[in-house]
Amino acid sequence: MDISRDVHLRSDDGRFVLRPYETEDAESIYDAVYASRAELAPWMDWCTPDYSIADTRAWLPKLPGAWERKEIFGFAILDASDGTFLGGCGLNNIIWEYRIANLGYWVRSNRTGEGVATAAAVPVARFGLEKLGLCRIEIVAAVGNTASRRVAEKTGATFEGILRNRIKIGDRNLDAAMHSLIPGDFERS
């Protein structure tokens, strides 16, 4: 299966475009993370107090190879009207033997509450299920991360339960809510 990085997805309502991250996104990503660090840091292990533009610039060149190796399929979320960088959404922790992956997302703080994460998560999940042939996509969010849990619900994912000590953020082991999407979920909608 050859999945080109020339993939462009669109939210169902057409307000958002998703495309693979590009090296030119570094400043936009860093600005969004920096402005959103208070909201991201409790839930995103990579959003540390010393996160810098150098971290962003070091991370971006790794993504094309991870895509080719089918390890990570990461997408920048852009406002379709003006191209503003809004956040990220992607598939990672892929276990090809079982055809499952994790779906993650984040949105810059000044654009939360607009449905951006849900609108981005749905086409990325469909991409995973339809184009990549996955049979299960998991959304794992810390119990206290109510915003991410609401997004999971709004995508139509099925809540499966609370998993004890499921995720580690910094030195904290946290319980997490498990939601999942399978191909039949989109056939019903």
User: Quick one: pLDDT at residue 146?
Assistant: 96
- Of the pLDDT bands very low, low, confident and very high (cuts 50, 70, 90), residue 187 is confident
Instruction: Determine the average pLDDT of the residues in 86-114.
Output: 97
SS3 content of the chain, % helix, strand, coil (to 5): 35, 35, 30
pLDDT tens profile 4-38: 888 999 999 999 999 999 999 999 999 999 999 99
- Of the pLDDT bands very low, low, confident and very high (cuts 50, 70, 90), residue 188 is low
9-188 belongs to which CATH class? Answer: alpha beta
Mean pLDDT of the chain: 95
Residue pair 62/72 in contact by the 8 Å Cβ criterion? no
User: Quick one: pLDDT at residue 2?
Assistant: 65
161: number of Cβ within 10 Å:
9
Q: What is the pTM of this model?
A: 0.94
User: Quick one: pLDDT at residue 10?
Assistant: 95
pLDDT tens profile 64-85: 999 999 999 999 999 999 999 9
Indicate the angle between helix axes 116-126 and 146-154, nearest 10 degrees: 50
pLDDT at 163 over 80: yes
Which of 4-8, 33-37, 54-58, 124-128 is the least confident region? 4-8
Long-range contacts of 78-83 (CB under 8 A, 24+ apart): 78/16, 78/17, 78/18, 78/19, 79/15, 79/16, 79/17, 80/10, 80/11, 80/14, 80/15, 80/16, 80/17, 81/15
Instruction: Determine the average pLDDT of the residues in 163-171.
Output: 94
Sheet containing 136-142, strands listed edge to edge, beginning at the edge strand earlier in sequence: 9-10, 16-20, 73-79, 85-95, 100-107, 136-142, 172-181, 158-169
